[in-house]
Amino acid sequence: MDIIMNYKLEEEDGYKYIELGEDKNGTIVILYGLMGEITDFAGVLDYFPKNGYKVVLVDLPIYTYPLLKTNIKNFAKLVKDFIVKKEIKNPIILGNSLGGHIALYLTAFMNEGVNVSKLILTGSSGLYENSMGDSYPRRGDYEFLKKKIESVFYDPAIAKKERVDSLFEIVNTRGSVLRILSLAKSAIRHNMAGELTKINIPICLIWGKQDSVTPPEVGEEFHSLLPNSTLNWIDKCGHTPMLEHPQRFNEIMSEWLYKN
């Protein structure tokens, strides 16, 4: 059992996850993005278990899953199987970037037996993602990677040295790089544009106005295609609103959950 941000990372039947709180108002399942970290959701993990929600963060094996299975479809199946195993009823799924894409795929194609009740998507891929540019990943170039990571955030200071060091190690490991590329190609291959109009559950979109990875027009397109969606903006914010403006993110999410 690992300890991350003072939370226990449980391990059961090959799944790793953090589980907090009691299901009085519902269970929120969190899926982070490619190159994301568990700590990106520290604000959500602190707030919602104290306000009547069970919160379960799934630690996706992005860099260790069998290479041939490292794609959107198989990660959606992994999350579905986890939800079924944990007997989570009518989950609310919160996904950032790749995590949002996985949540959409699961809801569109694998929802039988899961019954996702609501989605919260923030900086989600699924329509378009400018992940790191054509030249990424560039192995061995620390400064290049540092600048790329800083560009993801409105305030580059959020890209702390620990984050850059961790990702530098990842992109200099051949197996990890191959999985990153496999997922990036899978995200393009599994474009969700043709499926979004069929997803009728309530969906909350929370977007950074300065998101350079999934720019504002992507949030607007999601909103136009998803029939039961609400689009919320956070100013002076890049690709990870829940990390960059945790208090405002929690306010938006909490108010929306109360109304839906």
Mean pLDDT in residue range 27-53: 93
Higher pLDDT, 5 or 205: 205
Token pair belonging to 121 = 């998507």
On the question of pLDDT at 188 being above 60, the answer is: yes
Question: Could you tell me if 65 and 86 are in contact, meaning their C-beta atoms sit under 8 angstroms apart?
Answer: no
In tens, the pLDDT along 50-105 reads 999 999 999 999 888 999 899 999 999 999 999 999 999 999 999 999 999 999 99
Question: Could you tell me if 47 and 251 are in contact, meaning their C-beta atoms sit under 8 angstroms apart?
Answer: no
Q: 153 lies in a domain?
A: no
pLDDT for the residue 187: 86
Q: 242 lies in a domain?
A: yes
Q: 173 lies in a domain?
A: no
pLDDT for the residue 2: 47
Q: 79 lies in a domain?
A: yes
pLDDT for the residue 148: 87
Query: Which residues make Cβ contacts (< 8 Å) with residue 76, sequence separation at least 6?
Result: 102, 105, 106, 109, 110
Q: 168 lies in a domain?
A: no
pLDDT for the residue 23: 95
- The H-or-E segment that residue 246 falls in is helix 246-259
Q: 174 lies in a domain?
A: no
Q: 120 lies in a domain?
A: yes
Q: 149 lies in a domain?
A: no
Based on the structure, what is the number of domains in the chain?
Answer: 1
Residue 67 lies in domain: 2-129+191-259
Strands 53-58 vs 203-208: parallel, antiparallel or unpaired: unpaired
pTM of the entire structure? 0.93
Mean pLDDT score across all residues of the chain: 91
Strands 7-12 vs 2-4: parallel, antiparallel or unpaired: antiparallel
CATH of the domain at 248: 3.40.50.1820
pLDDT for the residue 170: 85
